[in-house]
Chains A and B, each alone.
Chain A
Amino acid sequence: MHRFGRMEALRSLPAALLWLTAAAIVLYAAWPWLPWGRGKTVRTIVFYGFSILGEVMNEGVFPAFQAEWQARTGEHVEFVSSFAGSGTITNQLIMGVPADVALLSVEIDALRLVTAGLLPGPTWRDLPNAGVVNRTPFVILVRPGNPLGIRDYPDLTRPGIGIVHPDPLTSGGAQWAILGEYGSALRQTGSPDAAHDQLLGIWRNVVAQAASARGARTQFESGFGDVLITYEQEIISDQARGRLIGQIVYPRSTIFSEHTLVVIERNVDPQERDLIDAFVEFLWSPQAQRLFVEYGFRSIDPTNDGANPLFGTIADPFLVSDLGGWERVKVRIIDDIWRDRVLPEVNP
């Protein structure tokens, strides 16, 4: 009788241990939501940003604004954020994610928000600098030592070169890249045919398409392809961290991307109005602009750019306005030329 009881106890020991472990895991998981684990109440900004913004916002701009707001009002601001391809984010916004503020790679995505009825009109044009927060030129990244001897966009049309390119369907960076590939030839030669041929030659060599510029860089880093066309910022920020695997090539002529901020008025709680306005204003402040430069973006005020010695020079830079503005290039270049002429020729 006594023996039997001891055996029972021994057998139930692992069971007790199991329940204890389970209870510990539950306690750990629920800790921040328990009454004593909860911190003081905070105010929240929900921010959606395109892919390459992750680091500069999380490590630079958010903490800087938190410190400034705390100093000014004593309140703690919490940032809830999500970063993905500009097109992906735009689709999420249209689907109804609760974003207060979104920084999109291309203005055409902001225009899609107007079409979808999320914004009453091009409200971002009333913001400072017509809503453009920062910019960065499009450049070419090659393998260390530049084994294929790539100097400019035309070299990318040579057969046998593998290009990693983000997908224009979901990535704003990919649309800027197309404008760079097409526009540079147009400016150098003045001939739309030559520009079309350069775009076609480059797209014949595209071997991988990622959903975002960030995703494309990860593909390139994991050893895929010979060339990556991307934001200069991506490369500069890696270079600053000493983890760049490759070499930057500045085209003679290339486009500067301009990144557009939208405030989704519908999602802004009236009580948070002052906070959101202050944050939006902060993005154009010298402090935030210097942070952008530190993380490899070019400031909207070129005098800030001297602070980053890694920036290269571009002989013939151009903007989307030089090509006629987003509404025009979206139809004339992205849709009519790239989608309807180049793509069918690449994948007949």
Chain B
Amino acid sequence: MTPAIRPRRAARASRLPIFLLLAVLLPLLLMPLAAVFIFAGRGGLPAFQQALSNPDAQFAIRFSLLIALGTALVNGVLGTLAAYVLSKYRFRGREALTVIVNLPVAIPTVVVGTSLLLLWGPIGLLGRFLDPLGIQPMFAPLGVLLAHLFVTFPYMLGAVKPVLDELEVTYEEAAYTIGASRWQTFRYVILPALRGGLFSGTLLTFAHSLGEFGATVLVSGNLRLRTQTAPLFIFAQFEAGNIENANAVAAVLATLSFLLFFTLLRITRRERQEGA
């Protein structure tokens, strides 16, 4: 009985669930993804390049990246603050607030879009007073950013708050006993422990913002070269019957999101190894 045999047999026995999963995922996930790339490449590389070099497509991809970046930065800070407050402070209404900040996950994005329009739009509750001043957040990049901040708010929170909840209070107390201020404790004790959560939260927020459609289509006015994000470009091109153009940009988004999540996986794995 050599020790080399047993693990191999065990490995063979454990293959079945893998095949089962692949068989299920093939029509559900893998084939649709493959279809995007097949249709994107149907006209050959020159057609793919031409579709991507279209100024509208270039603008849409760039605009989406910038909005996603802005969303990730703002929500990175706001989400961390929310996680810190909700985890470390005890106050009345804390639970209600926790529920509310997580709500965007469950609200249809279209509803988010309409509510933003009815608040900030030229005929909206607040927008009505801003309009005479010449301030128009909706149908402009700011409107798109507002929508994305709303829709992706819970992701940072979800990545950071569990880490904070589990963080031993003793470290913080130790920091206070040697005279560290609240800010110093946060900067030198809590923040380093949060690194993995911050990274994954920011990347998740970025990825969701990159793919956001439902709220964006309403608040952006879908103006090409001004507020048209990549998903809106894909939809418009698909509706117009330019399937190659739509799929070329879709392929870029799919590749980007694959890279993002691959990085995410590597980071979380490394953090776990370092933590162990």
Contact = CB atoms under 8 A, between A and B. Distances in A.
Interface of A: 14, 18, 21, 25-26, 28-33, 46, 51, 54-55, 78, 80-84, 92, 94-98, 212, 214-215, 217-218, 221
B4 interface: no
Given A80-B224, A95-B122, A215 B65 contact: no
Nearest to A243: B241
Given A98-B139, A214-B239, A31 B223 contact: no
A29 B123 contact: no
Given A80-B225, A95-B117, A54 B136 contact: no
B240 A54 contact: yes
Contact of A46 (B223, B228, B236): B223
26 contacts: A18-B263, A26-B69, A28-B65, A29-B65, A29-B69, A30-B62, A32-B59, A80-B225, A80-B226, A82-B221, A82-B228, A83-B240, A84-B222, A95-B117, A96-B122, A96-B123, A96-B127, A96-B131, A97-B223, A98-B136, A98-B139, A98-B221, A212-B239, A217-B241, A218-B241, A221-B241
Contacts of A81: 223-224
Given A32-B59, A215-B239, 13 more contacts: A25-B65, A26-B65, A29-B65, A30-B62, A81-B223, A81-B224, A82-B223, A96-B136, A96-B139, A97-B223, A98-B139, A98-B140, A214-B239
Contacts of A54: 240
Interface of B: 59, 61-63, 65-66, 69, 117, 121-123, 127, 131, 136, 138-140, 221-226, 228, 236, 238-241, 259, 263, 266
Contacts of B263: 18
Contacts of A78: 225
Given A26-B69, A32-B62, A81-B224, A218 B239 contact: yes
Contact of B62 (A14, A31, A82): A31
A80 B221 CA distance: 11
Contacts of A94: 123
Contacts of A218: 238-241
A96 B239 contact: no
A14 B236 CA distance: 38
Contact of B240 (A25, A46, A92, A214): A214
A-B pairs, 3 with minimum CB distance: A96-B122, A29-B65, A97-B221
Contacts of A80: 223-226
